[in-house]
Chains A and B, each alone.
Chain A
Amino acid sequence: MVAPLIIWFLISLISLSTGDYNSVINFFSKPLFLFLTIILLITGFFHAKIGLSEIYEDYIQDEKIKNVANLLTFLLSIIIPSITIILLLYKF
């Protein structure tokens, strides 16, 4: 389901990386691209949080440290995409 989204995201990233400021502004002024980027950020960080928790489960033995790591990961996985999305919506 997410495969086409990832492919779209990577191709956009490659083409935008060589472009200038205006090409990025043009990109995000398209509502569909803005929407897809927001979906990608939310699902991406959600997936990362679940994946990291799985890794902590295998490599961190101390329960307390594991809980702290999980809490920090949870907070960051919400804060980082939120700031980006708010800035995107504010600007475009």
Chain B
Amino acid sequence: MNDSKNPLSPHLQIYRWQVSSLVSITHRITGILNLLGLIFICAWISSAGIGENFFESLSVFLKSFIGKFILIGFTWSMSYHLLSGIRHFFWDLGYGYEIKTANLSGIIVIIGSLFLTIILWMFGKELI
């Protein structure tokens, strides 16, 4: 019997999307995005340490439309990873394994990350 053409499982393309899988893969993606953001912030902070000219060129980028978009995206990514991380923390403590609870906490993470992003920007703007 030739079964080499059978699909490997679970294949993301044929796997039915659920809250749990969506939150899980987004946790990984946001984790990688956070690292990229952190590396950029290192460059930004370092440029301030090197001199004003270097700093200004990166600042111009941050104040542009694309810069703002990336910054808001990074805040959301961090918020999401933080909330999802707290969800993982509760699992480590042994809570929230029931399917209903896991789905609910997943939805809370998705909606909560959007709210947290908005709240952070409202707070951040206040300080200027």
Contacts and interface: CB of A to CB of B under 8 A. Distances in A.
14 contacts: A10-B124, A11-B124, A13-B71, A15-B127, A17-B63, A19-B128, A21-B56, A24-B48, A28-B48, A51-B35, A80-B39, A80-B42, A87-B50, A91-B49
Q: Chain A interface residue count: which class?
A: 20 to 34
Q: Chain B interface residue count: which class?
A: 20 to 34
A17 to B, nearest CB: 5
A71 interface: no
Nearest to B27: A51
A69 interface: no
Given A24-B48, A25-B48, A15 B82 contact: no
Interface of A: 3, 6-7, 10-15, 17-21, 24-25, 28, 37, 41, 44-45, 48, 51-52, 55, 80-81, 83-84, 87-88, 90-91
Contact of B28 (A44, A55, A84): A55
Interface of B: 28, 31-32, 34-35, 38-39, 41-42, 45-46, 48-50, 52, 55-56, 59, 62-63, 67, 71, 75, 78-79, 82, 86, 120-121, 123-125, 127-128
Nearest to B82: A6
Contact of A44 (B38, B50, B62): B38
Contact of A11 (B38, B86, B120): B120
